[in-house]
């Protein structure tokens, strides 16, 4: 924590120095040893403790004098801050062989306190004198302070995020920052000679900003003192107790940035006015920037977002009516974004909802770069690759997160992120590296790349989703299943309903079952889904009892698959209420047999199924309910720093 502080002694004049409370001062006695001296002793005023460092074979004489041995070191510490300058003294006397005193060296010491402190114990309070403040460790027994990325907007009317402003415009902004205290105690005159400097490494400076709370005429002022354009700050009026600083994060962990940032306070010895000074004591603290965290379907929904598209044959007004009915059942807030705000784009799943600042924010893909609903405690972060044209895999229907799981004894208390990709050994469309690097860098939700490139759009939400359940692991994985669909249609055919026809595509069960080209397409699709099934069972610790197969057929176009009818796993999950794309399947006994089968599969789990018509407003445009909605969910109660990566 502190560099070795050495003070040279002299018999020709008294030495002066400063030391920090509780730290060691090494006395260099070699320069002060007079000719003919063979021993010495050390005396000090009461607040000074003298420590003699020596080998076991070296011992003082009966009169407490020590031999002049180059391996003996004299170290002093002081356990109380000075009230006046030079109020602590150390005297070293040198003796010849006859015991006569030859010379005396004096040292006058002023003891000060310099301590940089943060909430290293993660208790919500800044504590002083923490051990290993310069280290950060994961887990329930870990330590180290936490720093939030201040990417919401607490100031009404301000443009961009709060972190984009180099000032504090509202007291609410302070709630998104971490407190750092710099304590300085001692005679104020000594700090004029030995200044205290707060500083940040150049590598960390663009990741943080620090404000110093200073007393104003009517209310506190917050002076920006460290950040992208300033690496150090000399503390004014040192010696008068605690100085309060507020720290905000400017960047989430990312490629090349682990999330760790450090700050140091140094006491400098300045030999003359133009000298940069040399640190004689440094206290360092470390923060970890809170990661961006996704919330799974099992978290309580707080607000649903959807875009309004009013013009043209693909207006989503009918879809909105169905969605409103679902939200009334779920007792959940609905926010409808105007066409102007959404740039007439209905695919709002491009942004991901996250908890309030500190655990996650909506992340926008390169596909779009606009804040969904920025305001207090609702921020956003963007990632855009330089010079790369985006693909459909860059949209965030191609990103999901599992509920918390335990896999072969390894806990993932915040779940695991799922990214749609090609097969590991194949080239193909991938989510851009800028976003994938960002997701891996968050650390706490260990991403898993699944195989989605077999789909035309290529999104994971086209063949899987998670729903809450009251038993087993607390959830089920739903997988689209051609096999389950063929099994259902075969049952209906054997029951004499082969002529039942799909409402919109006008194709009967008999015709579907007789279509060998369609069956071949779906054998391929089933193999692709089965590959993912095995992967997810292995990497999420699932068994067959944790998986529900949802009947679904696909059709290949240019070797890639699209849903033949509205894709029912592409659903909106609001607690026990599910908003499922209405499949318009064959009607048997007055009911859509696909809807009936899904109810039979999910309602025993305590789930309520609402089927929403999205055929013309979303499905024919290559998406469904999940693609056209977005949900802000309640953050995890689990403290992310308790994760053991």
> Residue 510 half-sphere exposure, CB side, CA atoms within 13 Å?
7
How do strand 410-412 and strand 405-407 relate by DSSP bridges?
antiparallel
Is residue 150 within 8 A of residue 173, CB to CB? The reply is: yes
Q: How far apart are CA 478 and CA 464, in angstroms?
A: 5
Give 552-621 as a 3 state SS string: CCEEEECCEEEECCCCCCCCEEECCEEEEECCCCCEECCEEHHHHHHHHHHHHHCCEEEEECCCCCCHHH
Give Cβ neighbours of residue 409 (< 8 Å, ≥ 6 apart).
none
> Chain-centre distance of CA 533, in angstroms?
29
Query: To which residue do tokens 């206290």 refer?
Result: 283
Q: How far apart are CA 336 and CA 310, in angstroms?
A: 12
φ, ψ at 35 (rounded to 5°): -65, 135
> Chain-centre distance of CA 112, in angstroms?
37
Give Cβ neighbours of residue 637 (< 8 Å, ≥ 6 apart).
none
Q: Is the dihedral angle over the CA atoms 441, 446, 451, 452 positive or is it negative?
A: negative
> Chain-centre distance of CA 565, in angstroms?
39
CA angle 149, 155, 161 (to 5 degrees): 35
Q: How far apart are CA 645 and CA 139, in angstroms?
A: 9
Q: How far apart are CA 357 and CA 378, in angstroms?
A: 7
Q: How far apart are CA 211 and CA 207, in angstroms?
A: 14
Q: How far apart are CA 507 and CA 564, in angstroms?
A: 11
Tokens encoding 197 = 């400097």
Give Cβ neighbours of residue 309 (< 8 Å, ≥ 6 apart).
315, 316, 339, 344, 346, 617
Catalytic residue IDs: 627
Burial class of 336 by CB neighbour count within 10 A (0 to 12, 13 to 18, 19+): middle
How do strand 577-581 and strand 572-574 relate by DSSP bridges?
antiparallel
Calculate the alpha carbon distances from 574 to 403, 570, 620 in Å. Answer: 14, 13, 24
């Amino acid at each position: 924590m502190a560099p070795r502080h050495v003070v040279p002694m002299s018999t020709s004049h008294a030495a002066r120095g400063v030391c920090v409370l509780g730290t060691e001062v090494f006395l260099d006695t070699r320069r002060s040893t007079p000719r003919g001296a063979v021993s010495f002793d050390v005396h000090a005023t009461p607040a000074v403790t003298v420590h003699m460092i020596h080998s076991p074979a070296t011992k003082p004489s009966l009169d407490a004098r020590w031999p002049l041995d180059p391996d003996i070191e004299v170290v002093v510490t002081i356990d109380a801050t000075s009230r006046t300058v030079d109020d602590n003294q150390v005297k070293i006397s040198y003796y010849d062989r006859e015991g006569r005193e030859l010379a005396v060296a004096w040292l006058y010491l002023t003891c000060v306190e310099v301590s940089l402190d943060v909430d290293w114990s993660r208790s919500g309070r800044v504590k002083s004198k923490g051990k290993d403040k310069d280290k950060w460790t994961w887990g329930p027994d870990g330590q180290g302070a936490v720093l939030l990325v201040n990417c919401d907007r607490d100031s009404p009317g301000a443009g961009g995020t709060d972190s984009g402003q180099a000032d504090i415009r509202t007291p609410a902004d302070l709630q998104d920052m971490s407190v750092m205290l710099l304590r300085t105690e001692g005679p104020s005159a000594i700090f004029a000679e030995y200044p205290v400097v707060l500083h940040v490494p150049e590598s960390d400076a663009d990741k943080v900003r620090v404000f110093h709370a200073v007393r104003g005429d009517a209310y506190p002022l917050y002076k920006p003192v460290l950040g992208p354009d300033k690496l150090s700050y000399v503390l004014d009026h040192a010696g008068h107790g605690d100085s309060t600083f507020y720290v905000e994060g400017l960047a989430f962990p990312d490629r090349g940035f682990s999330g760790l940032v450090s700050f140091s306070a140094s006491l400098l010895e300045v030999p003359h006015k133009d000298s940069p000074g040399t640190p004689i004591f440094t206290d360092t603290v470390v923060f970890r920037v809170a990661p961006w965290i996704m919330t799974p379907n099992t978290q309580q929904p707080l607000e649903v977002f959807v875009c309004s598209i009013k013009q043209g044959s693909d207006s989503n007004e009918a879809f909105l009516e169905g969605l409103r009915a679902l939200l009334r059942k779920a007792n959940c807030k609905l926010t409808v974004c105007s066409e102007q705000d959404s740039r007439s784009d209905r695919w709002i799943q491009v942004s991901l909802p996250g908890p309030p600042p500190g655990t996650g924010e909506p992340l926008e893909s390169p596909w779009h770069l606009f804040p969904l609903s920025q305001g207090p405690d609702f921020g956003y972060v963007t990632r855009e690759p330089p010079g790369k044209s985006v693909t459909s895999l860059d949209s965030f229907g191609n990103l999901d997160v599992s509920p918390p799981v335990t896999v072969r004894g390894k806990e993932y208390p915040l779940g695991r992120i799922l990214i749609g990709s090609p097969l590991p050994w194949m080239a193909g469309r991938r989510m851009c590296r800028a976003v994938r690097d960002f997701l891996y860098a968050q650390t706490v939700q260990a991403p898993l790349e699944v195989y989605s490139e077999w789909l035309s759009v290529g999104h994971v939400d086209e063949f899987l989703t998670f729903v809450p359940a009251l038993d087993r692991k607390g959830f089920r994985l739903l997988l689209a299943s051609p096999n389950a669909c063929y099994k259902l249609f075969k049952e209906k055919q054997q029951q004499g309903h082969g002529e039942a026809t799909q409402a919109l595509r006008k194709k009967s069960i008999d015709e579907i079952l007789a279509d060998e080209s369609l069956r071949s397409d779906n054998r391929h699709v089933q193999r692709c889904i089965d590959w993912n099934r095995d992967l997810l069972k292995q990497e999420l610790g699932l068994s067959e009892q944790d998986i529900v197969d949802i009947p679904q057929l696909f059709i290949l176009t240019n070797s890639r698959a699209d849903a033949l009818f509205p894709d029912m796993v592409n659903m909106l999950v609001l607690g026990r209420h599910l908003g499922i794309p209405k499949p318009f399947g064959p009607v048997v006994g007055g009911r859509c047999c696909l809807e009936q089968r899904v109810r039979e599969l999910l309602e025993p789990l305590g789930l309520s199924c609402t089927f929403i018509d999205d055929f013309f407003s979303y499905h024919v445009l290559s998406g469904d309910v999940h693609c056209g909605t977005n949900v802000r969910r309640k953050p995890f109660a689990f403290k992310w720093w308790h994760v053991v990566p």
